Amino acid sequence: MDGAAGFAERKAGVIRTILVRRLTLGVFSAVALVVLFTSRLSYRNPLFYSPIVWFLLTFPFKALIERMKRERALQWAHTGFFLAEAVLITILVHFMGGSTWIGNIFYLFTVLYANFFLPRVYGAVVTGWVVACYATLVLLESVGILPHRSLFAVAGDSYQSLSYNVATILAGTVALYSVVAFTVRTFAAIDARKNRMLAERELELARMSKRLLGAQDEERRRIARGLHDGLIQSLAAIKLHLAPAKARLGEDDYREVTGIVDEAIRQTRTLAYSIRPPLLDDLGLVPSLDRLAASVGEESGLAVRVESDLDGRLDREAEGLLYHVAREALENVVRHAKARRATIRISAEGAWVRLAIEDDGIGISPDGPRGLGLRGIEERVTIAGGAVSLASTPERGTIVTVEVPCGDDADRDRR
């Protein structure tokens, strides 16, 4: 699951949380502005500018996080955001007189997100930093280095003792955020395990599909071979043995019996061919494609050319797959494209083989619904670790391009 896709997903998750923050703080800022213009309170009141400053803080950090290319860097930037946020919140809490009420609640999202998105150590550092910031503020206010401020002057605002502050608020903060951090951490762990299991299952599924397709291929090859090397040979042997008996049978009977044997040979050969063309195993991909092109041409009138710069044979799996792709694609062209000509191009590039099937038909919409044939191609190629692309111009034709890894080099690449 780890890899480029996993990282991109986690990064997107982080950016989403920053956007959620921006949205909530944006709403707060808007409300604050409305209050500012409809009341006689001063704009210097931290109630107004605090959500706006917090809101603005999301911009540079989102930009920073978007630039991150590695997991570790992303975690550092995210942690930096939480640490800066905690300092800012502490300043706001001070101006809002938060130390005399439950101002520590403003750190909630910081602790929540930090423990959900960051590894254990980073989460603990942010949680500790939050508690330290709040404790420092309360202590500074309690010993009189910083004044107690209050948003709204409340009659009978009492000056609390140092021990009272330390005992209640600090203990409350430490207890509250320990519980929050622990709970979130547990959920995060469950989530991570679920993702990991899901990714493992997906991988297993892909492996299984590949094995299954391989087994199916092998089975088809076996059956086709059996028909060719067994049944058809025996039929041919019957025919050969009939010849010396021609005089005894008489000309008419001889013709009739050999006719029946010929028909049996023809039927068996057609069957074997549809299961897996023997050409593919005997001579390889390009002669098989030549034959395919010729037989499609005979049946449908579509003029098919084969162009190849392949040298020698590919591995069995790749030959089977590419032949299957070409056959499906040509079938599609015949059925839907209203084309007059088609070209099959095949070329090797390092450990990859590219097969392109081009036609001059009516074209298809690349975003439109795909026929079964094309979907089947995509499935099989994806399972083999390859890629399919489709380019089409209305009334000008379509090119289906397939690239698959092939041979020893590709195996090395994949490992």
Partner 1 sequence: MGTTRIAIVDDHALVRDGLARLLGLEEDLTVVGSCGDGAGTLTLAAACRPDVLLLDIALPDADGLDLVAEIRRVSPETRVLMLSMHSEPEYAAEAIARGACGLVAKSASAEALVDAIRRVAAGETLPSLDRLSLREREILALVAAGRSNDEVARELGIQRKTVDGHCERLMQKLDIHTRAALVAYGRRIAF
Q: Which residues lie near partner 1 (CB under 8 A)?
A: 228-229, 232-241, 243-244, 246, 258, 262, 265, 269, 278-279, 282-283, 286-288, 290-291, 293-294, 305-308
Residue in 400, 405, 406, 392 with CA at minimum distance from that of residue 376:
400
* Tokens at 158, concatenated: 């009492």
Closer to partner 1 by CB, 51 or 277: give it.
277
For residue 321, the minimal CB distance to partner 1 (Å) is 20
Closer to partner 1 by CB, 191 or 282: give it.
282
| Cβ contacts of 16 within 8 Å, gap of 6 or more | none
Q: Is the separation of the CB atoms in 402 and 358 below 8 Å?
A: no
For residue 326, the minimal CB distance to partner 1 (Å) is 14
Closer to partner 1 by CB, 19 or 243: give it.
243
Closer to partner 1 by CB, 47 or 280: give it.
280
| Cβ contacts of 339 within 8 Å, gap of 6 or more | 302, 333, 359, 360, 361, 362, 397
| DSSP per residue, 58-97 | HHHHHHHHHH--SHHHHHHHHHHHHHHHHHHHHHHHHHTT
For residue 347, the minimal CB distance to partner 1 (Å) is 13
For residue 290, the minimal CB distance to partner 1 (Å) is 4
Closer to partner 1 by CB, 68 or 283: give it.
283
Q: Where are the alpha helices (DSSP H) in 68-170?
A: 71-95, 108-117, 120-142, 162-165
What CA–CA distances, in Å, run from 415 to 207, 317, 409?
A: 14, 17, 10
What CA–CA distances, in Å, run from 199 to 116, 195, 212, 415?
A: 20, 6, 20, 18
Closer to partner 1 by CB, 3 or 244: give it.
244
